[in-house]
Chain A
C-alpha cells in the first residue's frame, strides 16, 4: 500500500505542475459573465433552412458554458466554474433575495451557477437554461432582459466578490465575458470610469478578464470603444508568459448565423479552457558549454484517464465521498510512525540493504535540472519505434536569461529548416532521473477558425535506453507477390483519412466520455443513453465499398488475390493452421471452402458454422470448451471462465447480432 502510494506519488510528479515558489494553490476558477440583452437573445437564423441554426448569441454562450463545464468535470475535476448572467431583469446573489429589493448589492446580476466545482444538479440546471426549448417557464424567466442597462462596474465588482470569497488563493482566476455590446456606457462617462476602476481591482486581485466578443449582424465588435480600457496587457496569473505575449483581444470575433457563431465561440473558448500551467519553469537549455538560455516546459499531450473510483458514504442526506486516511505503523511495535522515520531498503540476499534518507537522495541525484544539447543528428535518425512516453513541450522564457527568446527562435528555425534534431541530456526537475532525449522543432498550426492548434516550440521526446529495448520475438516472413501488394495499395489509397492526416480533435476518447455520461445519468437519476457515440469505430460501410472496388488494372480484389497466392505458395492443403484447437481433420481447407468470405482466420472455417448451427438448434452447450473458446476468441470475446460462462457468452453474441 505504501509502496503503491509511493509510486503513485512519483507518477503524479509529472502531472502536478509543481511551483515551489508560490504560496498559491494550483487551481483554476472560471466565471462566465454572459450579457443578457435583447440583442443577445435574438436568434440568428441560418440562411440554410435545413440546419437547426436558430441559435441566439446568449444561448450559444450558455451552450459553451455547459460544454466547458462538462469537459472540465473530466479534465480538471478540482477546478471551479460558475455562470453569472448580467443585464437580467431579476437579480440573485447568494442569500440576497429579490423580495427585499432596494437593498440589492448587485442589481441585474444573476448568479445562476455559483463558482464551485460543479455538482450534477448544477450541470442539469445549466443544461436546461442552455436549451430553452425544453426549459420550464421559471427557468426562462431568468433570461428576461432588464429595461435599464446593467452597470458594468457593478458586474465586475460582483465578479470580484465571487472570486474573493469562493476561490481565494487560486493561482488562476479568469472572468470570461461574452457580449455583443462593444460600448456599454457610451454616453455615461462616470459609469465608464467606474467600470475601468473595477476592472483594475480585478487585475490587482489577479483575475484575468478574457473577452469573447460577438459581432452584431450589422456591426463589427470594436474593442477600442470600451474593452481596451478593461483588459490588461500581461495577465497577472500568467507571470511566466513572455512579456510580449499579447492577450487575445484580437482573436476572431464570433459572428454569422447561429451555428457558425456557436462553433467559433466554442473553438475560441476551448482554446482557453485550461489555464497554462508549466511542468517545469526556467530550466536552462544549454546549447553549448557555458551558453545557456532559459525555457519553460509544458505538457501539451497527456493521456487523460478517468478519475479513480472512491468510496461513497450514503448514510446521510446526500451521498458523500469518504476520505481515506492511511496510517503507517511499525510491524514491530504496532505504533504509529512518522513519514520522516521511514527508511528505504532493498531486498538482497535474503536481507535488507538499507540507505539513509540522505544516501537515498544522493543516489537519485544526477545534478541540477538541465536540457543539455550534446549534438545534432538528422531528423531521419529518430526511428519510429524509439519512443517510451509522451513528449514535453518547451518554450523560451526571458526570466533567467535575457535574449533567450531570440536564441531559441534561431535554433527553432534552424532545426526546422535543416530537418535536424538535437540530442539532449534531460533532467526536468531536481532529483528526476535523467534521460537521453531527442529535441525536435515543431511548427505552429492554425485551425480553420484562425485559432492556434499546435503552438510553435520544441518537443522533447525521451528515448529508450538500451535497457528499455525488447528483442523481437521470432516470426516467419512470407513476402507477398506484387499483385497482392498492388491490391492492398489500392485499399490504402482509397481509405485515407481526410487530408491524409490524423486529427486528434476528431476522436474523443469513447470510454472516458461514456464513463462520465453514465455517471451524469446516475447522478441525475436519468435514463442511460442507449449506445455510445464512438467516433473511433471504423466506418465499415465506406470500407466495404472500397473492398468491393475493382481497379481496372487489377483483375482481382485483395481478398481474391490473397486466396490465389496462398494456394500457390502453400498449396491448397496447407490451410491456415490453428493454434487454439488441435484437431485432426483439416478437410475444409480455405481453398476449397465455398464461402465467399475469405478470411485468414486462425479458426478453421468449420468452427464458425458449427457454432452457428448449434445455436440455431439450441445445443451450444454440447460443443467442447476448445471450440467455444476458439469461437469467442475469433470474435474478440473473453475466453476466461467455466464452460457455462463460455456458453452464455456465445449465446449473448448471437442474441446481440440478430
Chain B
C-alpha cells in the first residue's frame, strides 16, 4: 500500500505570467503549466483516492480562501493581514482529482489582470489546507510553488512559517521561473534569493522550471514491490529418503518482469450520438458518449441435419474437456485433476553444467532471484557456500522447480551472483525437449553440394576482403556506455532505456486528458534514443561502412521481380532429368483433368506457346473451379476452390497475363453473388477477400489495366 499523499500546487497566475519569453509561442503560464499538468496527471493516472492534490492560485483577481490566521492562533484578522492574504484563491481543495476537476482547472487557470498577491501568504494558505486535511494522520505532505517571482513578498513571521513547516513535516518545493541574469530587476533577484533560502530553510527543494520542463520527457519508472513467487526448500538429494540430502529454505522473487502498458477497455459510441459523425465530440461530453461493451457467449455444435449445419447448445449441457487429436475427451467434474501431473513444491537440484558450455540463447523466460529464507542464518550460510562453489567452478546448477503443489514442474538454470553486500542465485527457465523446434539451415561458412563436396568460395560466402571489412566496421562501432563518473563501462544501456510503448501510451492518455482536442504526439526523443546509432558513432565508422558497402555489393531486388519464380526456366529434379520432355509424351494430358487440375494447369501453361493456349488453359480451369463451387455442399470444396484460384492468379501474374485472370474473376464474382453457382456463396466470397485473390492491379503487373483503386474496391465487402 502506497503512502497517502497531500500535495498543494501554488500557481502564480499574475498578469506578468501572461507574457511570452524566449520566442515561445505560449505564455509563461502555459509553459509553466506543462510541468504542473504533468505532475497532476501523473497523480491522477494512479487512480488512487489517497493521492490527494490541491491547487492554489496566486495573484488572482479575486480572493477565495478561508481564514488562515486561525493557524497561528491570533484569533481575528486585522485589516493588514486581510490585505496580505488578498489575491489568493483556492482553486481546488485537497482531494482526489477527477476528469471534471481537470476541465474546470483548465478553464480557471489563466493569467489575471493583477500583479498583486503575496507568495508567502499563499504558502501559508497551502499549509493550512494540508494541516486541516491531513490532521495528525500519516501523510506525505508537499507544497509546490510555481512562480516567476516578480511579485511583492513579505517576510513577516517567516521564522514561524519555517518552524511550522518543519513541525508538520511539509516539504516545500519552489519551482522558479527565471529569466536571463541581465534582464533581472533587483526585486526579482531579491525574491529569488529569498525563495531559495526559504526552501533551504524548510529543508525543501529549489529548482528552475527550465530544467523541470526539459526533464518532463524522462519517463518515470513505477517501482513495484516484489512478492515472493516461491517459498520452499532448495534440495540436493531426497531428504525424505536419504539423510545425506541437503535442504536450504529459500525464497524466489522477480529479477525482471515485463511492465505492461495500461490496458484499454472497449466501448461503443452511445446510441443517440450520431453514428457517422467523425470523432464524436471530445472533451466535455466524451465521458458520457461511450457505452461499455458486454459479451455473451453461446455454444454451437455441428449437426448436419440442422439448417445451417449447426445448432446451439446450453452451457450447462457441456462437460469440461480437452482435444486429443480430433477426438474430444470429456473429463468428469470429479476427476478434473486427473490429467494434471501430481507434484509437490520444491526446488530440486538435478546437476551442474559448465558456464562456457551453456548457450545464452537457451534462456526462455524472465529471470528471478533466489535468496535464503528471511532471518534464517543457516539458510544464508548454506546458500552462500553453493553460490561461491558455483562461482569458483564457473558452473551453473540445473534444478527442477515446482512453485506450488500441483503446478507443472519447470527446469531452471541457477547462476551465482556475488556483489559487495549481496548474494543470490539468478534463475531462468530452460527449454524442455518439446520446446525446441528443429528447423534446419545450411551452414553459413561453407556450402555442401548435392554430391557432398564442400565448397568454400561461393557468391553466398564472404570473401576474405569482405570478412576484413566487416571486422573493421564492427570494431569501429563499439557502443559506449559510461558510469556516473564518465568512465567507459561494459554495461548494456538497460537503465537508460525505457519501454517506448508503455510510456508513450501513458503520456498520450495524460496529454489527451488535459488537451482533449490536440492530435496525439510523436514519441518523445527519450523513448526512441536507441532507435538509431548515435551520430558520433556513425561519423566515426563512416569510412569503414563505406568500404564494407562497396565490397559487400548488396543489391536491392526491385519490387517488381520479387517473387517472380521463373524466367521460363523449367523445374528439374535433382538428377536434372528433363521431365517436361516426358510429360509432352504423355498422351492423356491434352485436357486438364479435374482430379489433377493444379499440376496439369501449371504444366499446360509451361508448354503454352501462344496466348490462345493460355486462354484455353484458363477456360478449362475456370470450368473446373465453377463446377467445384456448384457442387460444394456448404463449404466442403471451398479450400480447393481457393487453392485453384490462388494458383491461377499466381501463375498468371508470373506469366504477366493479368487480363485473363481479371476477366475470369470478375465473372466469377458476379456469378457467385447472383447465386448462380449452387446458391448462397457469400462465405466463399469472404474467403476470396481474405486470400486477397481479387483483380491483379498495376502495382503487381505493369501491363494490367486495373488501377489500384479499382482492385481494392473489387474486394470491398458486397
Which of A46-54, A90-98, A129-137, A287-295 forms part of the interface with chain B?
A: A287-295
- Chain A residues near B72 (CB-CB < 8 A): none
Q: Does B586 contact A (CB under 8 A)?
A: yes
Closest Cβ neighbor of B510 among chain A residues? A348
Q: Is A536 in contact with chain B by the CB < 8 A criterion?
A: yes
Which of chain A's residues 555-603 have a Cβ closer than 8 Å to chain B? Answer: 557-559, 562, 565-566, 569-570, 574-577, 579, 590, 595-602
Complex Cα–Cα for A118 and B326 (A): 6
Which listed residue, B266, B325, B557, touches A123 by the CB 8 Å rule? B325
Q: DSSP class of B's interface residues: helix, strand, loop or mixed?
A: mixed
Question: A635 and B325: CB pair below 8 A?
Answer: no
Complex: how many Å from CA A306 to CA B583?
48
Select which of B378, B430, B450, B490 is within 8 A of A246 by beta carbon. Answer: B450
Q: Are B361 and A470 in contact (CB under 8 A)?
A: no
The reply to whether the CB of B697 lies closer than 8 angstroms to some CB of chain A is: no
Within the complex, what minimum Cβ distance (angstroms) separates A309 from chain B? 6
A407's partner among B247, B320, B426, B552 (CB-CB below 8 A) is B552
Known contacts A579-B373, A600-B249; decide if A23 and B646 are in contact (CB<8 Å). yes
B-facing mask of A299-318, CB < 8 A → 1, else 0?
Answer: 11111101101111111101
A187 at interface by CB-CB < 8 Å: no
Contact present for A77 and B325 (CB under 8 Å) = yes
Specify which chain A residues have a CB less than 8 angstroms from the CB of B301 in the assembled complex: 313, 316, 320-323
Does A219 sit within 8 A of B, measured CB to CB?
no
Residues of A within 8 A of B248 (CB): 600
Q: A467-B502, A600-B249 are in contact. Are A351 and B99 (CB under 8 A)?
A: yes
Whether the pair A597, B462 counts as a contact (CB closer than 8 A) is: no
Asked whether B365 lies within 8 Å of A411 as measured between CB atoms, the reply is no
Residues on B with beta carbons closer than 8 Å to the beta carbon of A382? 360, 492
Contact segment of B175-183, B201-209, B349-357: B349-357
Residue of B nearest to A558 (CB): B246
B461 and A301 contact, CB distance less than 8 A? no
- B598 CB to closest chain A CB, in angstroms? 5
Would A343 and B290 be within 8 Å (CB), given that A168-B643, A204-B602, A509-B432 are in contact?
yes
A354 sits at the interface (CB 8 A): yes
A25 touches B501 (CB 8 A): no
5 extra interchain contacts, Cβ-Cβ under 8 A, other than A335-B271, A488-B389, A579-B375? A249-B450, A289-B545, A489-B393, A492-B352, A507-B432
Q: Which of B286, B294, B422, B528 contacts A472 (CB 8 A)?
A: B422
A313 to B247: give the CA distance in the assembly, Å: 48
Give the CA-CA distance A168 to B595 in the complex, in Å: 12
| Cβ 8 A contact of A301, one of B361, B426, B530, B557 | B361
Q: Is B568 interfacial (CB-CB < 8 Å)? A: no
Within the assembled complex, what's the spacing in Å between the Cα atoms of A195 and B340? Answer: 49
Q: Are B531 and A425 in contact (CB under 8 A)?
A: yes
User: In the complex, which residues 380-411 of chain A have their Cβ closer than 8 Å to any Cβ of chain B?
Assistant: 380-391, 393, 395, 398-411
Q: Out of A322, A373, A395, which one reaches B318, CB within 8 Å? A: A322
Within 8 A of A (CB), among B611-665: 639-640, 642-643, 645-646, 649
Interface positions, chain A 447-482, Cβ under 8 Å from B, are: 452-457, 459, 461, 463-473, 475-480
- For the complex, is B14 an interface residue (Cβ under 8 Å from A)? no
Given A466-B498, A544-B244, does the pair A346, B262 have CB atoms closer than 8 Å? yes
Contact: B242 with A400, CB < 8 Å? no
Is B318 within 8 A of A24, CB to CB?
no
The answer to whether A401 and B555 touch (CB under 8 A), given A300-B437, A456-B443, A566-B381, is yes
Residues of chain B from 494 to 516 with CB closer than 8 A to chain A in the complex: 494-505, 508-510, 512-513
**A472-B253, A492-B389 known; A390 vs B243 contact (CB < 8 Å):** no
Stretch in B142-150, B186-194, B465-473, B676-684 touching the partner: B465-473
Residue interface mask B247-280, A partner, CB < 8 A = 1: 1110001111111001111111111000000010
Which stretch, B4-12, B22-30, B76-84, B571-579, touches the partner chain A?
Answer: B571-579
Task: Give Cα A412–Cα B329 distance, bound, in whole angstroms.
Answer: 48
Kindly report which residue of chain B lies nearest to residue A225, judged by CB atoms: B575
Pair A391/B603 contact, Cβ less than 8 Å = no
Interface check A345, CB cutoff 8 A: yes
CB of A62, distance to nearest CB on chain B (Å): 18
Residue A624 at the chain B interface, CB threshold 8 Å = no
Contact A636 B233 (CB under 8 A): yes
Contact between A423 and B266, CB atoms less than 8 A apart: no
